[in-house]
Amino acid sequence: MENSLRNSLLGRARFAATLRSFFAERGYADVETPTLSPFLIPEPAIEVFRTDFITRSGAEVPVWLIPSPELWMKRLLARGSGSIFQVSRCFRNGDFGGAFHNPEFRLLEWYTMGAGYRESIGITEELFAFLLAADGLGTTPCVELAPPFLRLTMEEAFRSIAGIELSACPEVGAMRDAGISKGLAMPPELTWEEAFHIVFLTLVEPALPREHPVILMDYPWQIPTTARRLRGTPWSERWELYIDGVEIANCYTEETDPDALRELLREEEQRKKTCRVQHRIDHGIAGIFGPGFPRCSGAAMGVDRLEMAFRGEKSLEGVILFPFSAILVP
């Protein structure tokens, strides 16, 4: 048992060190940004953790644990940092249950100067090849992880898996009708995004190929993100990486139009009001963008899920030393 624990600890440390060495060898700066923040970007799909900072005068100032380091890393980019990365601790409240969720997790996030989302696919494939070739990791992947990855646009996935022409459903009525035609319950009060997600999560995502990593790219523009719109199309410059049916990474070509970002923040702030835990909104983030902000692509990858895939584990409990399921007091 003692040797088994020791080997697990060493393997985990080597895996994290190999991730860092990949980016360091390519000239990315390894950065550290705050875990406690006085404000966050509004993300309606994410519940957050709140705590209070006690000042010397005894006043209590609310602060929040970050769900990702995005808001601070982008401030570094605006100040001329160049390409950067970090492996950080992140937190998502209510994100617990099942094999793939833990409220505290490790996140690898990197930003590449002069790159778009398609170039970031190549960087990710290089990272996987680097990990597979590294000595001493002792990993046994759950599926074939060697690049190149299978690439599917969202339009292709909907057509081939669900038999739905996504581009023919630009309005909520058409999206609902498409779902109804496949036997799904689609209440009349749904928004377009809600109707899309019912179809995607019920029909498309569970049926994505599992024998090889899948890049699912060119998401509908109606799904609000900070990804740039793919010019002249109804799609955004975004992809997600799936391994054995599990979402591992998310990537954008970053939108740098401050007006577009301010509008997105306003809309997301209103949607955020449906969350149980409220927080101060980082309205200042839009002000760092504009002509001086570099063209770049950002990607975020769940390190625990990545290591789970490389070790052939079927649950995060196989790679997290103290999973929340083991320490939670009823």
Q: What is the overall mean pLDDT for the chain?
A: 94
Domain boundary among 167, 202, 237: 202
Same domain, 243 and 183: no
Same domain flag for 115 and 155: no
Domain assignment present for residue 186? The answer is yes
For residue 50, give its domain range.
2-149+212-327
* pLDDT score for 329: 57
Residue 309 lies in a domain: yes
List, for residues 262-284, the tens digit of each pLDDT value: 999 999 999 999 999 999 999 99
Number of domains in the chain: 2
* Higher-scoring residue by pLDDT: 330, 68: 68
Any domain includes 94: yes
Query: Which band of pLDDT confidence, cut at 50, 70 and 90, is reported for residue 325?
Result: confident
Say whether both 163 and 192 belong to one domain: yes
- Residues 164, 136, single domain; the answer is no
Residues 6+ apart with CB under 8 A from 208: 152, 157, 161, 214, 216, 242, 245
Q: Are residues 182 and 269 in the same domain?
A: no
**Within a domain: residue 207?**
no
pLDDT digits (tens, 9 = 90+) for 198-222: 999 999 999 999 999 999 999 999 9
**Domain assignment present for 140:** yes
Q: Measured in Å, how far apart are the chain's first and last C-alpha atoms?
A: 28
313: in domain: yes
pLDDT tens digits along 146-198: 999 999 999 999 999 999 999 999 999 999 999 999 999 999 999 999 999 99
Same structural domain, 216 and 316 = yes
User: Based on the domain organization, do 132 and 16 belong to the same domain?
Assistant: yes
pLDDT band at 2 (very low <50, low <70, confident <90, very high): low
Does residue 20 lie in a domain region?
A: yes
119 and 241 in one domain? yes
Residue 23 sits in the same domain as residue 101: yes
Q: Are 317 and 323 in contact (CB under 8 A)?
A: yes
**DSSP assignment, residue 189?**
T
Q: Among 9, 85, 96, which residue's Cα sits nearest to residue 49?
A: 96
Residue 306, pLDDT > 90, answer yes
- Spatial separation of the C-alpha atoms in residues 137 and 162, rounded to whole Å: 39
Those residues whose C-beta lies under 8 Å from the C-beta of residue 248, and which sit 6 or more positions away, are 213, 240, 241, 242, 301, 302, 305, 306, 309
- 259: tokens are 């007006």
Residue 128 shares a structural domain with residue 166: no
Q: Give the CA count within 13 Å in the CB-facing half-sphere of 115.
A: 21
Residues paired with 33 in a beta bridge: none
Both 283 and 158 in one domain: the answer is no
Residue 129 belongs to a domain: yes
So what's the pLDDT on residue 97? 73
Domain-terminating residue out of 182, 202, 222:
202
- Whether 122 and 31 share a structural domain: yes
For residue 36 the two structure tokens come to 């406690």
98-113 per-position pLDDT tens digit: 789 999 999 999 999 9
- How far apart are alpha carbons 132 and 135 in whole angstroms? 8
What is the percent of the chain where pLDDT is above 70?
99
Question: Could you tell me the CATH number of the domain that includes residue 135?
Answer: 3.30.930.10
